[in-house]
Amino acid sequence: MLSRRQMLLSGAAAAAAASAIGKMTMTNIAEAAPADSASQADGSYTPVITPNNEALQWKIVDGVKVGHLIAAPCKREFAPGLVVDCWGYNGGTPGPTIEAVEGDRLRIYVTNHLPAPTSVHWHGIFVPNGMDGVAGLTQRAIQPGETFKYEFDLRQSGTHMYHSHTDEMVQQAMGLMGLFIIHPKQRIGPAIDRDFAMLLSEWKVVPGTSKPDPSEMTDFNLLTINGTVFPGTDPLVVRTGQRVRLRFGNLGAMDHHPMHLHGNNFTIREIDGQRVADSAVTEANTVLVTVGATRGVEFVASAPGDWALHCHMSHHTMNQMGHGLPNLTGIDTTGLDRKMQQVVPDYMTMGTAGMADMSGMNMPVPRNSLCMSEADGPFGKIEMGGMFTILKVRDDITSYDDPGWYKHPAGTVADVATAGDLARDGIRTD
């Protein structure tokens, strides 16, 4: 669920513009009690959950779904202790997830409260050419203070996205993006119990500052899922035996993301919004989400536990303070430390035993910055950050609130081998 801390609204101007469209009704259900597949036998769909985010609100006018996006500067809390000055829609980045059904007619107003012209492109969606949102090519740009109207019928289904298509390098790097989910008119395949959508992106925010650098091409130091980095990412909570869909979209500037799920294999069911035929599905535990692409995977959550879900590029699972430091791994710095401690008593050279030791030193970091990793887990520090979250599978849960850490059955946790174990199996450690 979206929290006040996770998304800070951008001011009275945006709120006034939003109220002009009138009161709207949420299209999706936030976190209801666990659902059963049988409840979807009539072809209805399970509403999408966008962790750490919200859905676009609609009202119906003469059979048309009417929504409103407000592009404006905003503040986004990527994780506790790190608030970034972004540009976004309706008070945050990513913008609200647009969720509708194949065959719907949509009318989406876009108000520009940015200091620059903008436009909105409906990425992967079939629309009339004049609604495609490329400033200068298919429409004139939306000037600051203007409100444009986009209107089109949905002629397809699948996982799609939306983003600025004006000065893309700057405006997407500042956060003008969102997810666009279209459910099929008639359900395809088995009913889904839990449907999660995740928009992947990347940012360069120098430690101690709050503004992204739109010109960065290689050294991104914050890799986000729905505008958050671990430990700020909400867990994905499911009940054992439920069928789960994970939707990924990538609107990062440069990097692809191999998204890897522990403890489960899945079938890759959707590529760029297109359903993969049963005869062509691939079973895997890692799916590559390339820049500008979407992927959808499905699996049955059969194993209780706390399972990691993360990008498998190792630099994408760390936060700001894990980047740009000298490699001192394996170097003996005790002599240097003694000399430095004569001047600075608490001095300690960092990174001599890898980067993870930094998180346990409790050393001060620049304001508005994050260590490489700093989350407490049930067995100590979780030495990952960035594009990382947790799938929490539990038996017989009655709500989707965070159930806390998994309680392992006796004898099922790796631990120190006893002398008896080593002797029995002939293992020598010298």
CA dist 143 and 135 (Å) reads 11
The CATH code belonging to domain 7-311 is 2.60.40.420
pLDDT of residue 29: 34
C-alpha to C-alpha distance for 371 and 363, rounded to whole angstroms: 9
* Helix, strand or coil, per DSSP, at residue 317: helix
More confident residue, 381 or 133: 133
pLDDT of amino acid 12: 40
Question: Where does the pLDDT of residue 339 fall: very low under 50, low under 70, confident under 90, or very high at 90 and above?
Answer: confident
352, pLDDT greater than 60: no
Secondary structure of residue 357 in the 3-state scheme? helix
Task: Provide mean pLDDT across the span 220-232.
Answer: 96
Would you place residue 71 in the very low, low, confident or very high pLDDT band (cuts 50, 70, 90)? very high
| Mean pLDDT, range 8-32, rounded to an integer | 39
The position carrying tokens 């049930």 is 378
Grouping H, G, I as helix, E, B as strand and the rest as coil, residue 122 is strand
* Residue 373 CA from chain centroid, whole number: 17
298/267 Cα distance (integer angstroms): 5
CB 180 within 8 A of CB 56: no
The whole-number pLDDT of residue 64 equals: 98
C-beta of residue 321 within 8 angstroms of C-beta of residue 385: no
For residue 85, give every residue at least 6 positions away whose Cβ sits within 8 Å of its Cβ, in sequence order, or none: 73, 75, 210, 211, 212
Residue 304 confidence class, pLDDT cut points 50, 70, 90: very high
The per-residue pLDDT for 324 is 58
Q: Where are the domains of the chain?
A: 7-311, 314-387
Which pLDDT does position 168 carry in this prediction? 95
Cα(151)–Cα(193) distance, integer angstroms: 31
pLDDT of residue 366: 83
pLDDT for the residue 328: 58
Do 300 and 242 touch, CB atoms closer than 8 A?
yes
CA–CA gap between residue 166 and residue 142 (Å, rounded): 9
Going by pLDDT thresholds of 50, 70 and 90, the confidence category of residue 345 is confident
Say which DSSP state 408 is in.
P
Cα 194 to Cα 33, 60, 108, 342, distances in angstroms: 11, 26, 27, 58
CA Rg, the chain, in Å? 23
Could you tell me which of 41, 29, 48 has the C-alpha nearest to residue 244? 48
Ramachandran bin of 174, using left for φ above 0, alpha for ψ from -120 to 50, beta for the remaining angles: alpha
The two structure tokens encoding residue 296 = 């959808």
* DSSP-based three-state secondary structure for 421: helix
Average pLDDT, the chain: 87
- Mean pLDDT, residues 338-359 taken together: 62
- At residue 265, the 3 state secondary structure works out as coil
Nearest to 141 by CA among 101, 162, 123, 168: 168
Q: Is the Cβ–Cβ distance between 225 and 387 less than 8 Å? A: yes
Cα–Cα distance measured from residue 364 to residue 320, given in angstroms and rounded to the nearest whole number: 14
Region 124-148: mean pLDDT is 98
Residue 284 has pLDDT above 80, yes or no: yes
pLDDT at residue 13 is higher than 80: no
Q: Are residues 92 and 76 in contact, defined by beta-carbon separation less than 8 angstroms? A: yes
Query: Which own/partner pairs from 127-134 qualify as long-range (CB within 8 Å, at least 24 positions apart)?
Result: 127/152, 128/152, 133/165, 134/165
The answer to whether 79 and 375 are in contact (CB under 8 A) is no
What number is the average pLDDT over the span 263-287? 96
Once rounded to an integer, what is the mean pLDDT over residues 383-403? 95
CB 66 within 8 A of CB 107: yes
User: What would the pLDDT profile of 168-215 be if each residue is shown by its tens digit?
Assistant: 999 999 999 999 999 999 999 999 999 999 999 999 999 899 999 999
DSSP 136: T
- φ, ψ (nearest 5 deg) of residue 21: -80, -10
